[in-house]
Structure 1
Amino acid sequence: MGCGVKYEQLSPGSDPSSVPVFFTKNGKEIGVVMVHVARGGLFPCVGLAAAGDAVRIVPQLIWPPDEDTHMSVDSMEEEWLRLHDIRLNGQMLEYCGRGKSLLDVGLAQARVPLNTTCHYFEMEIVDPGRSGYITIGLTKKEYPKYRHPGWNRGSIAYHADDGRVFTGKSIGSLFGPRCHKGDIMGCGIIFPRDYVCNYDSEGGSMEEESPEPLECDDLLEHFLHYQQPAVPALSPLYPNRHHRHHHHHHHNHIFTTDSEDDEDEEEEEEDEEDSLEPSRRQHLGGKVQVFFTRNGQMIGRREVELPRGGFFPSISMGSINERVRVNLRPLTG
């Protein structure tokens, strides 16, 4: 059974207070009714009446599932802060880089950092491409565009090709299974109950407390507590990625890449942050729990330092023909 709204059928100038709502059974549409939209909008809901009733929610379902439909969807460019070597097609992100070296990274960074209201996002691997060098994670706002999330300080990411998690350095640790075509990878933050948000929706500094934790935060924390981590699997793809060196040797001379310069700058930045008084260091965000999911199952979590300005949802790719479908707000309908 399914339910949705046909916003594409609303014509300019039509009454915005009523929308066409359709229902499906086993993937077939069975009817459409006009529904009045109350103040605050329409929210997905499911009702159960008898003891023992149970249903399974199918996340990230796109209706109708035609490839042509993606071409007519709004570009959604306003959702993204940066798109480097990434082509946007509705909810679809497509890698358009060379895919020949470590620096040929395609990076997509969302415009708004995760917060206590919107603290989780997902992506579906539509096409793993030639090598499946796809990652999902979180990065600071000024993250290098030619580095996969997780490789540099101020980031954390789950890598699909080898099932490793990278937490701000180029050496990853065994974390979960590899991900393939059709798999849905998710990433989110569990904020402390006394968390104080020091940044606005654009990642700028501010002095304002976050709202009280949502009820779904309690459910999510309960879910994560009782989930068992999946058995990690090591992929033959990218087998030496965690042992990479970023030096180019030529005629006995060593040239460093820009990534080394960036890492030097990050070390200087870290020293500056460590030297701050405690009253000023609290504005860096404190510790948060970052968790990852695969097909609705929790894989694991890591405690990391929240960077100044917050953590921005980020996705990267690195080989030709890679495509993912992104939902930046799967928990809000």
Structure 2
Amino acid sequence: MEADTAATDHVAAGPTSSPLILAEGLTKVFGTFTAVDAVDFRVERGEAFGFLGPNGAGKSSTMRMIGCVSPLTAGRLQILGLDPATDGPAIRSRLGVVPQQDTLDLEMTVRENLYIYGRYFGLPRAALRPKVAELLEFAQLADRADSKVEPLSGGMKRRLTIARSLINDPDILLLDEPTTGLDPQARHVLWDRLYRLKHEGVTLVLTTHYMDEAEQLCDRLVVMDKGRIVAEGSPRSLIQEHSTREVAELRFAPGENGVAAEKLTGRFAGANERVEALPDRVLLYVADGEAAIARAHEVGLSPVSSLVRRSTLEDVFLRLTGRSLVD
């Protein structure tokens, strides 16, 4: 997969009468704290669906309910047409789960990790051998099949964890922060593996902190904040709805950003156009970045440097959830 290929350029699965996952008023409460506050969403067969949000937004609590390891407090949740409250084991047998932290057996070989995990699902030995070989090729680990897991790189371990999650041919693959801690090269290799799975018909449900990852992989996503869904759509539609086509970044001498922002505020009147002053630069959310920079010069401003870039999902995310850190 090319690095600049957006998932939104491909046709997602259309709505059907029976989504693989259906949540209505889904709620999770811990004591007096509401982690997930009456959210609604549906995941269709064959699509890649993402949960984005800052820490504490409710993403992990939602994923745990989908994974049938945490009961819902209120609302309705249906997975593969089944009820997690009564059909948990049956649902889990059809899920593949990639946790945020790898849980591989470090003392075993790559091949043994796959083989033993398959035996947990009751797969017969004769069927496991070709399946393990297939997954080793898929994860690009065939040449390390007999190596111990412990000395493998982070990217290799992550690919092995994903391969292991596919041993039971799951209907849904749940991925919690799949590329956290990986270097850029390893992330792109992993994206390629997930991209292949999606186009082979595997339904992906993931959480991620990486906006570029969401743009690459997700057909649709929801942005969560404080337990609620604040936006939903494809990456492209979210950018169109909540941001502008371009962003002009202007850098001024120390201490001048605030003054420059004041001079520019109110001079852009298009949909979602606005001015945002940051400690190190001024952002102009506009339809035409070059025209916005020219307008800054017209009012007597002389930025030290400037650039124009396309608006991204990160711009949407920060506008909807804020720039403040959440503990």
> What TM-score results when the alignment is normalised by the length of structure 2?
0.21
Which of the pair has more CA radius of gyration?
Answer: 2
Q: Which has the higher contact order (CA 8 A, sep 6+)?
A: 1
Q: Which has the higher helix share?
A: 2
Normalized per residue, the structure richer in strand is: 1
